[in-house]
Chains A and B, each alone.
Chain A
Amino acid sequence: MESQAISMKGNLDEQHDLSRARAAPAPTVSRETRGQTVGELRSQSARMRCTGVNVFYGEKHAVKNVNIDLGNNEVLAMIGPSGCGKTTFLRCLNRMNDTVSGCRVTGEIVMDGKDINARGVDVVPLRAQVSMVFQKPNPFPKSIWENVAFGPRIHGLAQNKVELDEIVVNSLQRAGLWNEVKDRLHEPGTGLSGGQQQRLCIARSIAVHPEVILMDEPCSALDPIATARIEELIDELRENYTICIVTHSMQQAARVSQRTAYFHLGDLIEVGDTKQIFTRPQHQLTEDYITGRFG
Chain B
Amino acid sequence: MSTSADYLEGHTVRRFDGDLTNLNLMVLEMGGLAVEQCRDALAALNAGDVVLAARVLEREDQVDALELELDENIWWLVGKRAPVGRDLRVVVAVSKAVTDLERVGDEAARIARSVKAIYGDARERRRPGDKLLRDVQSMGRIALKVLEEALALYDNFDADKARALIERDRELDEEFAASLRRVSTFLLEDARNVGHVVEVVMMAKALERIGDHARNLAEYVVYLIGGTDIRHPHARAQAQ
* A278 CB–B CB distance under 8 Å: yes
A window 212-255: CB within 8 A of B? 250-251, 254
**Among listed B6-14, B62-70, B185-193, interface-contacting one:** B6-14
- Select the stretch in A58-66, A90-98, A125-133, A286-294 that faces chain B: A286-294
Quote the shortest CB–CB distance from B4 to chain A (angstroms): 9
Beta-carbon contact of B85 and A287 below 8 Å:
yes
In the assembled complex, B208 has its CB within 8 A of some CB on chain A: no
For B88, list chain A residues within 8 Å (CB).
278-279
B84: chain A residues within 8 A (beta carbon): 250, 254, 278-279, 290-291
8 A Cβ contacts from B57-113 to A: 82-89
Tell me if A113 counts as interface (CB < 8 A to partner B).
no
Whole-angstrom CA separation of A291 from B2 in the bound complex:
19
- Min Cβ gap A255→B in Å is 11
Smallest CB separation, B135 vs chain A (Å):
38
Which of B6, B86, B225 has its CB near the most chain A CB atoms (within 10 A)? B86
**In the bound complex, do residue A295 and residue B12 qualify as a contact, i.e. CB atoms below 8 Å apart?**
yes
* Cα-based distance from A251 to B83 in the complex (angstroms): 10
Q: Which residue of chain B lies nearest to A276 when distances are taken between CB atoms in the complex?
A: B227
Flag if B85 contacts A291 (CB, 8 Å).
yes
For the complex formed, measure the closest distance between the CB of B210 and the CB atoms of chain A, giving whole angstroms.
27
A248 to chain B, nearest CB (A): 14
| B3 touching A279, Cβ below 8 Å | no
Q: Taking the nearest CB of chain B, how far is it from the CB of A1, in angstroms?
A: 11
Given contacts A278-B84, A291-B84, contact A26 B16 (CB under 8 A): no
The listed residue (B3, B83, B157, B159) touching A291 by CB distance below 8 A is B83
Q: How far is the CA of A294 from the CA of B87 in the complex (A)?
A: 14
Classify the secondary structure of A's interface with B. loop
Q: Are A291 and B227 in contact (CB under 8 A)?
A: no
Within 8 A of A (CB), among B1-48: 2-3, 6-7, 10-13, 16
Residue among B6, B10, B11, B85 with the highest chain A CB neighbour number at 10 A:
B85
A29 to B88, CA, bound (A): 17
**B11 nearest in chain A by CB position:** A292
Tell me if A281 is interfacial: C-beta within 8 Å of chain B.
Answer: yes
Closest residue of chain B to A288 (Cβ to Cβ) is B10
Q: Residue B157 contacts which of A25, A250, A254, A293 (CB distance < 8 angstroms)?
A: A25
B226 at the interface (CB under 8 A from A): yes
* CB contact between B82 and one of A251, A286, A288 (< 8 Å): that residue: A251
CA distance A180 to B216 in the complex (A): 53
For residue B226, which residue of chain A has the nearest CB? A28
Beyond A251-B82, A280-B85, whether A293 also contacts B6 by CB under 8 A is no
Query: Do residues B87 and A291 form an inter-chain contact, with CB atoms below 8 A?
Result: yes
- CA of A26 to CA of B82 in the docked complex: distance in angstroms? 22
A residues less than 8 Å from B89 (CB atoms): 279-280
Known: A25-B7, A26-B157. A293 touches B12 (CB 8 A): yes
A24: chain B residues at CB < 8 Å are: 6
Q: Are B157 and A28 in contact (CB under 8 A)?
A: no
Interface residues as binary, A19-42 with B (CB distance below 8 Å gives 1, 0 otherwise)? 000001110110000000000000
Docked pose: A29 CA to B227 CA in angstroms:
9
Query: Are A280 and B227 within 8 A (Cβ)?
Result: yes
**Chain B positions within 8 Å of A290 at CB level:** 84-85
Across-interface contacts of B12 in A (CB, < 8 A): 292-295
> Are A293 and B225 in contact (CB-based, < 8 A)?
no
Give the contacting residue for A279; candidates B10, B16, B82, B227; CB below 8 A: B227
Residue pair B159, A26 in contact (C-beta under 8 Å)? yes
B174-206 contacts to A (CB < 8 Å): none
- How many angstroms between the C-alpha atoms of A286 and B87 in the bound complex? 13
Does the CB pair B225–A28 fall under 8 Å? yes
Question: Is B6 in contact with A291, judged by CB distance below 8 angstroms?
Answer: no
Contact call A28/B86, Cβ cutoff below 8 A: yes
Q: Which of B10, B83, B85, B226 contacts A26, CB < 8 Å?
A: B226
A216 to chain B, nearest CB (A): 23
Instruction: Enumerate chain B residues within 8 angstroms of A294, measured Cβ to Cβ.
Output: 12
Task: For the complex formed, measure the closest distance between the CB of B221 and the CB atoms of chain A, giving whole angstroms.
Answer: 10
Binary flags per residue of B99-132, CB closer than 8 Å to A gives 1, else 0: 0000000000000000000000000000000000
Identify the A interface with B (CB < 8 A): 24-26, 28-29, 250-251, 254, 278-281, 286-288, 290-295
Known: A279-B227, A280-B89, A280-B226. 16 other contacts (CB 8 A): A25-B157, A26-B225, A26-B226, A28-B86, A28-B226, A29-B226, A254-B84, A278-B85, A279-B84, A280-B86, A288-B10, A291-B83, A292-B11, A292-B12, A293-B12, A294-B12
Please, could you name 26 A-B residue pairs with CB atoms under 8 Å apart, sorted by A?
Answer: A24-B6, A25-B2, A25-B6, A26-B7, A26-B157, A26-B159, A26-B226, A28-B226, A254-B84, A278-B85, A279-B84, A279-B88, A279-B227, A280-B89, A280-B227, A281-B85, A288-B10, A290-B84, A291-B11, A291-B83, A291-B86, A292-B11, A292-B12, A292-B13, A293-B10, A295-B12
